[in-house]
Structure 1
């Protein structure tokens, strides 16, 4: 819970009283590797903080899995679109490792925001960061070559390569597993 407190305070100056008010609503949940937090068709009522583990956020269709993001320790996450719009999810949030998360119901998030302007500021700023990250990710997929996307991920998030199956890494990069393998061989041989 200390890491969660620190994370909230990294966005806004929140008093101990206001922080404790908000923290009373969080529930500690554990997920085993492979378990889904959210599946298509479910309403998204929770906002999560990842204390330990890795979560993949993806869609699945006839062409296979399309990974949009990996969430790791100290990340806030949810299916933001379904959460905000209050519609059924079309995505999965699945544990790619055993995970410990703290989850807060949307109605309790609103109680916290109504209780404190500082908590509301935290919420606004954390949502802005999420939107900026999604925008950044879309730009990378459109504007960087396959190899540059791979090298950037290797530089920015090297631990993912030990934590996540390669086919999910390939999907995240917009590649096939064979395409990822070719890039890795080309880089090794140069």
Structure 2
């Protein structure tokens, strides 16, 4: 793990709560670096999920297949913790995929090793709880937006909050993420351009 990578993940952990240097170093000793090429998968449908990840750089798509169609739930970009949270917590086989949309570098920690660090330090246990809560809230808010906001509202939010995604991710995946068809996305963008003219 490079010094920059080490500092980035330290900063991320410390953004949740204070952790003393010794337990922080202990926790980080369990992380392994994984280099992914575009198209590589971290998890695939049917696998048991026992790993939590930190994305150092790159872009990861979190999706499932429904009747042959990709249903994108999230795009993860640098400086975020992620996994298939439901399968991770339940210890059940996943119905999702985590796939690199570009060359990416990920730090991975096994569940049993993360729990070992939590048992060793209340500060680390607090970090684990807060990071899990944040991940669950993001998931809940994402589903809530899909159910209660219009296509246009979802697109404009993406444009405002995460404009880089629109440049980095193929349009058909953007459309899936927004819950519309690629044709619907194209029409929506044209309509918005006309209204700005």
TM-score interval, normalised by the smaller of the two chains = over 0.9
Query: d(CA) in 2 for partners of 1:85 and 1:9?
Result: 27
SS in 1 for 2:188: helix
Choose the corresponding residue for 2:22, options 10, 13, 17.
17
Deviation at 1:138, TM superposition (A): 1.3
Aligned counterparts of 2:129 and 2:148: Cα–Cα separation in 1: 28
Q: Give the corresponding residue for 1:62.
A: 67
Does residue 1:97 correspond to 2:138, yes or no?
A: no
Question: Structure 2 CA distance, aligned partners of 1:129 and 1:178?
Answer: 33
- SS of 1:88's partner is coil
CA distance, structure 2, for counterparts of residue 27 and residue 81 of structure 1: 22
Aligned-residue offset at 1:63: 4.6
Structure 1 alignment gaps of length 5 or more = none
* Among 172, 187, 190, the residue aligned to 1:182: 187
Q: Secondary structure at 1:159's aligned position in 2?
A: helix
Mapped pair 1:168 → 2:173: yes
| Aligned-partner SS, 2:24 | helix
SS of the residue 2:79 aligns to: coil
RMSD: 0.7
| TM-score, L = length of structure 2 | 0.95
For residues 30 and 89 of structure 1, what CA distance do their matches in structure 2 show?
Answer: 22
